[in-house]
Amino acid sequence: MKRFLIGIVALFLTPVLAGADAAERRLRDLSVPFYYDLGPDSIDVSKYPERRGEQYKIFVRRCSACHTLARSINSTMRSREEWSYYVHRMRIMDLSEKEHHLRRVELKDVVDFLVYDSRIRKIKRGKEFVENDQRLRDKFHALHEERVRLLRQIIERGSPASQGK
């Protein structure tokens, strides 16, 4: 009888606990800070000049340590001023890490690559880029709505932190 009762309690509790876990996991998966994180995380450089292909490899190796490459690839930054500023800002941030990912000597190559690539994908093929940009913003907006919905669900169910005193 006792075992039967435990079985019944477990049967009711399991989906509740699993549900809370699933909602929290899903919330974590949806938590990207920038809408451009949601786009593609690689560039087809097969038609770029060889030198740009080499620079692309450095960019891939160095700029994917703390966030995916999607952040750079789909951001609206395009001018040399913008890229120089950001790449140096990343370098300063990197200096505060235990293990350094960015090497000063390689940063010029990274900036040169990003400026060249921006000219091709974001300016010459600007219409396509703007359309994709809007798609990513819409997707981000939809994710945001889902995040709010999940958060409400989690709060209403009550987390251990909100129970007791």
DSSP state of 81: H
Q: Let me know how many helices (H) and strands (E) the chain has, helices first.
A: 6, 0
Task: Provide, rounded to whole angstroms, the least separation between the CB of residue 138 and ligand HEC.
Answer: 18
What is d(CA 118, CA 52) in angstroms, rounded to the nearest whole number? 12
CB atoms under 10 Å from CB of 77, counted, come to: 17
Nearer to ligand HEC, 116 or 154 (CB): 116
- The answer to whether 139 touches 38, Cβ cutoff 8 Å, is yes
- What does the block give as tokens for 37? 């994180």
CB atoms under 10 Å from CB of 70, counted, come to: 19
Task: Provide, rounded to whole angstroms, the least separation between the CB of residue 79 and ligand HEC.
Answer: 13
- What does the binding site for ligand HEC look like in residue numbers (CB under 6 A)? 34, 62-63, 65-67, 71-72, 75, 77, 86-87, 90, 93-94, 97, 101-102, 110
Task: Provide, rounded to whole angstroms, the least separation between the CB of residue 130 and ligand HEC.
Answer: 17
Using DSSP, state whether 13 is helix, strand or coil: helix
Nearer to ligand HEC, 109 or 150 (CB): 109
Nearer to ligand HEC, 101 or 147 (CB): 101
Nearer to ligand HEC, 84 or 153 (CB): 84
Task: Provide, rounded to whole angstroms, the least separation between the CB of residue 80 and ligand HEC.
Answer: 13
